Amino acid sequence: MLSLPCLTVAGEDNHAAEVAVITDNMASASGIETVAVSAGQLHIMATIFGDVITDPASLSHIRARFDGVVSDVTVNLGDKVKRGDTLAMVESNESLKRYQVSSPFAGTIIGRHANAGELSNGQILFSIANYDDVWAQLKIFPNQRAAIKAGQKVWLSNADFVQESSISHTVPSSEGKPYTLAFVKLNNTDGNWPVGALTKARVRTATTDTSLLIPKSAIQKFEGQPVVFVKKGNQYHARRISLGLADDTNIEVLQGLENGELIVSQNSYLIKADLEKSEASHDH
């Protein structure tokens, strides 16, 4: 813990205006960083959850064009196929000619319901899916419905992977559930989004301009009130502030600071701890 020389100066509001004196070298060695108070934007976010589903446009259930007998099957579950690859041969009941059942697009065989000697008779023979693009299906509950709309930016996370996208569309739940479903298309060429995986989404619901904005990391609680430490030369003054709206990283200041003032943005807890230690020693 730092040992910083502290001064106590009486303020006009009868509160103590605490001041820590720290050289620039000591501040740098302790990781104390500053930032200028400025105008900025708050990005209001909402959190929703859901899972990854197959893109309906990239899922195909394949039947034979004509009823007949399956004479040959050339693929198995899990096989990768290209568009036009032969999946099976079927002998037509009417013409007795053999014709091929082909893959309509590149993908993976995820279902096989055909074996040599079986009748096709309009049944699904194979299911193929392409996972290069998938969808996140997210639940919007009633208290979030007014804020979350199609077109908004969204950041989806799966373990340590994050992808930015936007909400494509929203639809009511088909199961009569109390939530609305939001759909977000995801690029999955690297396989980071397995179908069925749970995902967390952060949706940007609003952007608000503010005249004074500071990072949340700058704020400490001192004597029960929010304060920041204002740098003036080698002195760091504890300044009580009033706060407004906030997003994940920044917060609006309503009173207590002026545009351009330098405040401690990182490791301000070191100054707070030293001031509290100094205050305790003065009490004794």
Asked whether residue 69 falls in the same domain as residue 13, the answer is no
Q: Is residue 224 part of a domain?
A: yes
Question: Please, are residues 212 and 253 in contact by the beta-carbon 8 Å criterion?
Answer: yes
| Residue 279 pLDDT grade (very low, low, confident, very high; cuts 50, 70, 90) | low
| Residue 11 pLDDT grade (very low, low, confident, very high; cuts 50, 70, 90) | very low
Asked whether residue 19 falls in the same domain as residue 109, the answer is no
Asked whether residue 50 falls in the same domain as residue 163, the answer is yes
* Beta carbons within 10 angstroms of residue 62's beta carbon: 19
Asked whether residue 190 falls in the same domain as residue 276, the answer is no
In this model, does residue 166 exceed pLDDT 70?
A: yes
pLDDT tens digits, 204-257: 999 999 999 999 999 999 888 999 999 999 999 999 999 999 999 999 999 999
CATH code where residue 244 lies: 2.40.420.20
Asked whether residue 89 falls in the same domain as residue 37, the answer is no
Q: Is residue 1 part of a domain?
A: no
Domain that holds residue 163: 46-55+133-207
Phi-psi region of 146 (alpha: psi -120 to 50; beta: other; left: phi over 0): alpha
Asked whether residue 25 falls in the same domain as residue 72, the answer is no
Asked whether residue 222 falls in the same domain as residue 246, the answer is yes
CATH code where residue 86 lies: 2.40.50.100
Q: Write down the pLDDT at residue 283.
A: 55
Asked whether residue 125 falls in the same domain as residue 144, the answer is no
Asked whether residue 125 falls in the same domain as residue 71, the answer is yes
| Residue that terminates a domain, selected from 144, 178, 207 | 207
Using a cut of 0.85, tell me whether the model's pTM lies above it.
no
Total tally of structural domains belonging to the chain = 3
